[in-house]
Copies of this chain bind each other. A is one copy, B any other.
Amino acid sequence: MKVTVDDVNDLARGAAVLGAGGGGDPYIGALMLRQALARSGEIELIDVDKVPDAALAIPVAMMGAPSVMVEKFPNGMEFEAGLRALEKRLGRRAEFLLCAEIGGVNALLPLILAARLGLPVVDGDGMGRAFPALQMVTYHIFGLRAAPMTLADEFSNIVTVESTDDREVERLARHVTVAMGGSALICLYPMSGADAKRSMVRGTISLALGLGRAIRKARGSGSAPHQAVLEYLRTTEYYKHCSMLFQGKCSDVLRETRGGWTLGRVTFEGLGGWSGRTLEIQFQNEHLVAREGGSVRAIVPDLIAVVDSATAEPITTEGLKYGQRVSILGISCAPILRSPKALAVIGPAAFGLDAAWTPVETLNSD
């Protein structure tokens, strides 16, 4: 499958929905990808089963607060600088690029680098959504190591982190990201094709592209675009348990950028059939939990997507504003994230939430 310049907007929009509020505004990434594709023509998106077991595949992503990325965007040089530094450390060239996080701008970054270098990208990612920490990926859950990892900034400063403990890598890299101004280009979890096969959330890049296309087509058709989102997701393997959690108006946002994250809470007041009701969402880059009164309506790792009521344009946590009319969707995460081993890493407790994880389809089974 080929990705061309005509796919960029659809992919960016679909990925932003899957970002569950995080993953960064894809606007800058889409601009960069369009420019890279204008030069290179197309990128090969390949199924992980076609990657040789012994091949070297490297995930690339941005690390940091999405709020920062919107203003301090990459210049492109750091992409190659970071990858080359990791390749030098490994003594070997990458043959495939991987996506760490399908949600938001990180869906686009491997494609930007792939277009610049003429490398293929494997269809899939390490989250099936977005998460705020390095070890919150299936690559970690399946025992791969984040290190050696490189971080690069727009001055092509390069920092390489090595540790046998992924949480130490996250901690050190988070400090470096702050030192680099709040966001950095990262290359990490270098892995073999065999490891990619056993640990990836498969097919999520083409899935995000399909979702974006469905939204675009619905906008021209007169039907409600958020209905098209639900209809498309119901045809997929991972996201098929999805429903409208709430419709209303953003009435309050509390947000701060701290420790390299965008943290806060947002409140929505119901409109139309939801009038008189209130939904509150707590976020750390991504939406973590949606509560109505004392009841959890959806909780991480299931996805909570906030989209514009009229256009289904996804709204990131740093884009939330008073007065926005939104539809809020609850979406089942990839089953690979629902095992006890996975929930220990990306379940509610990993975010300091005291609520237990309950599947979104159970919480909304009316």
Using a CB–CB distance below 8 Å, which chain A residues touch chain B? 85, 88-89, 155-163, 165, 168, 171-172, 174-176, 178-180
Contacts and interface: CB of A to CB of B under 8 A. Distances in A.
B162 A168 contact: no
Contacts of A155: 163, 165, 168
Nearest to A152: B162
Contacts of A178: 175
Contacts of A175: 175-176, 178-179
A171 B179 contact: yes
A179 to B, nearest CB: 4
A157 B162 CA distance: 6
A160 to B, nearest CB: 4
A160 B89 CA distance: 10
A353 to B, nearest CB: 25
Nearest to A158: B162
A188 to B, nearest CB: 14
A159 B176 contact: yes
Contacts of A174: 179
B158 A159 contact: no
A161 B158 CA distance: 6
B163 A160 contact: no
Nearest to A88: B89
A169 to B, nearest CB: 8
Contact of A172 (B88, B171, B180): B180
A175 B173 CA distance: 10
A85 B163 CA distance: 12
A178 to B, nearest CB: 7
Nearest to A179: B175
Contacts of A162: 85, 157-160
Contacts of A159: 159-162, 172, 176
Contact of A161 (B156, B157, B163, B165): B157
A88 B85 CA distance: 13
A88 B91 CA distance: 10
A190 to B, nearest CB: 15
Given A158-B161, A158-B163, A159-B162, 13 more contacts: A88-B89, A155-B168, A156-B163, A157-B162, A157-B163, A157-B168, A157-B172, A158-B162, A159-B161, A159-B172, A172-B176, A174-B179, A175-B175
